[in-house]
Amino acid sequence: MQAHRQAITINLSFISKAPLAEASSTEMTSGALGYTDESLLPRLGQVLWSWQLCTGCLEVQSCIADSCPAKRVVRLQRYFQFYKAVVSTYVDGSSAKDRVLKTHEDLWRAIRALKSNPDITRAGFRQLLFSSKTGNLPDPTWNQSDLLNAATLVVKLLTMIDSSSLYHSSDRLETGGSRIHWKDDVPFSKYLQDLFPTENHPVLSYPHSDLLIDMKSELRATKLKKHLGITFRPTHDIRNHLRLHRRLNVLEIYHHTTFLKEHLRSTRGSGDRSSPSTSIKV
Ligand SMILES: [Zn+2]
C-alpha cells in the first residue's frame, strides 16, 4: 500500500503583549526550568497561541471567566507532558552554569523571539539567543553547542519538530527514513516550508470529490488492521504522520491533534496564512 503524507501547514501566531511574571533563576524553584508544574500552562498558552487570559489567570490565581482559553488546559495535558519531558531532557543534558535558557521565562522569551522573526536563520537565532543571554555582542568564546541545544529546544516546543541533526533511531535507520535539520544559513520559515511542501494531490486536494469520500471510507484504521495487518504507533513528530514502515508494517499516527487545533484557532480570521513566514509572525 502507498502511504500518503498530506502537506500540512502549521499555522502559528504571535503571543499577546501582556507581561509575563518574573521568574527565579534558582535551579529548582518556581520559574526555573528544572521545576515544571501545571500552573505554567495558561501562560504557556499565552506564549504559543496568543491566549487572551482572564485577569485571574494573568495574576496566576484562579481562572474567573468562562470564556478564558485556560479552560482548555485539560485537553492539552498530552502536550504538557511533552513540554515537561523535552524541558527535563534539556535540563538534564546541560550544567546550570552553561545553560542558555535557565527559566521558563527565558524559554518563552526565546519562543517569542523566533515567532516574531520567522525569517531568521539558525545562525542568526543562535546569535540572538546569545545576545539575550549576555546583553552583549556575540563573543568568540560562546559555546555553540549550548546555543544549538537551546535553539533546538525552542523549535521543538513551538512546532513539535526536532530540528537538530543529531537525532537518529535504529528503527529510522532500518526503514530508511530521512531527516532534514535546520541548517545555519536557512531561514526558519523556509525550513518549515521545505518540510511541508504544498503539493497538488489528485485525490486529497479535492475535499468534495467522490474519490476522496471513497478513500476516507476505505482508509479506516480497522480496515487497515484487518485486511493488511497494519499496526499503529503514536508519534509526537508531525513529520512522521502517516509514515508507513513497510518492513515492520507499522503506520505512525500523529497524536497531538489538540496542539494543532490550538494553532488553527489562534490564526483563525487573521491575515495571510499562505506561508510559514506570515502565519508564524504576529
Ligand atoms: Zn482564566
pLDDT in tens, 211-222: 877 777 777 888
pLDDT over threshold 70, residue 147: yes
- Place 134 in a pLDDT band, splitting at 50, 70 and 90: low
The answer to whether 10 and 238 have CB atoms below 8 angstroms apart is yes
pLDDT over threshold 60, residue 114: yes
CA distance 128 to 115: 13
DSSP conformation class of 72: G
pLDDT over threshold 80, residue 74: yes
Centroid of ligand 1 to alpha carbon of 178 (angstroms): 42
The answer to whether 51 and 264 have CB atoms below 8 angstroms apart is no
Centroid of ligand 1 to alpha carbon of 105 (angstroms): 19
Q: What mean pLDDT is predicted for residues 15-41?
A: 60
Is the residue at 177 inside a domain? yes
Is the residue at 232 inside a domain? no
Centroid of ligand 1 to alpha carbon of 69 (angstroms): 7
Centroid of ligand 1 to alpha carbon of 75 (angstroms): 15
What burial class does residue 109 get, using C-beta atoms within 10 Å of its C-beta: 0-12 exposed, 13-18 middle, 19+ buried?
Answer: middle
Confidence at residue 95, expressed as pLDDT on a 0 to 100 scale: 84
Q: What mean pLDDT is predicted for residues 232-249?
A: 87
CA distance 15 to 9: 19
Q: What angle do CA 90, 113, 25 make, to 5 degrees?
A: 45
Domain range holding 158? 9-206+258-282
Q: What angle do CA 40, 268, 277 make, to 5 degrees?
A: 85
Confidence at residue 30, expressed as pLDDT on a 0 to 100 scale: 61
pLDDT over threshold 70, residue 2: no
- pTM beyond 0.95: the answer is no
Pairing of strands 244-245, 250-254: antiparallel
Confidence at residue 219, expressed as pLDDT on a 0 to 100 scale: 76
Centroid of ligand 1 to alpha carbon of 24 (angstroms): 23
Is the residue at 36 inside a domain? yes
Centroid of ligand 1 to alpha carbon of 38 (angstroms): 14
The answer to whether 155 and 89 have CB atoms below 8 angstroms apart is no
Confidence at residue 174, expressed as pLDDT on a 0 to 100 scale: 41
Mean of per-residue pLDDT scores for the chain: 78
pLDDT over threshold 80, residue 119: yes
Is the residue at 3 inside a domain? no
pLDDT over threshold 90, residue 188: yes
Least confident range of 10-14, 69-73, 206-210, 240-244: 10-14
Q: What mean pLDDT is predicted for residues 247-266?
A: 88
Centroid of ligand 1 to alpha carbon of 71 (angstroms): 7
Centroid of ligand 1 to alpha carbon of 117 (angstroms): 28
Confidence at residue 54, expressed as pLDDT on a 0 to 100 scale: 95
Is the residue at 227 inside a domain? no
Centroid of ligand 1 to alpha carbon of 68 (angstroms): 5
Centroid of ligand 1 to alpha carbon of 19 (angstroms): 15
Least confident range of 21-35, 116-130, 178-192: 21-35
Is the residue at 234 inside a domain? no
Is the residue at 149 inside a domain? yes
Is the residue at 170 inside a domain? yes
pLDDT over threshold 90, residue 94: no
DSSP E strand boundaries for the chain: 231-235, 244-245, 250-254
Say which residue, 276 or 96, is predicted with more confidence. Answer: 96
pLDDT over threshold 80, residue 109: yes
* Total Cβ atoms within 10 A of residue 49: 24
Q: What mean pLDDT is predicted for residues 9-21?
A: 34
The answer to whether 13 and 282 have CB atoms below 8 angstroms apart is yes
Centroid of ligand 1 to alpha carbon of 43 (angstroms): 10
For 49-66, how does the pLDDT look when each residue is reduced to its tens digit (9 = 90+)?
Answer: 989 999 999 988 889 999
Confidence at residue 221, expressed as pLDDT on a 0 to 100 scale: 81
Centroid of ligand 1 to alpha carbon of 61 (angstroms): 8
pLDDT over threshold 80, residue 26: no
Centroid of ligand 1 to alpha carbon of 155 (angstroms): 27
The answer to whether 80 and 147 have CB atoms below 8 angstroms apart is no
Centroid of ligand 1 to alpha carbon of 51 (angstroms): 10
Estimate to the nearest angstrom the gap between the alpha carbon of 3 and the chain centroid: 24
Kindly calculate the radius of gyration of the chain based on its CA atoms and give it in whole angstroms. Answer: 20
Centroid of ligand 1 to alpha carbon of 16 (angstroms): 14
Number of domains into which the chain is organized: 1
Q: What angle do CA 175, 180, 185 make, to 5 degrees?
A: 165
Centroid of ligand 1 to alpha carbon of 64 (angstroms): 5
Q: Which residue has the cell 485577569?
A: 55
Centroid of ligand 1 to alpha carbon of 212 (angstroms): 41
pLDDT over threshold 50, residue 197: yes
Centroid of ligand 1 to alpha carbon of 253 (angstroms): 32
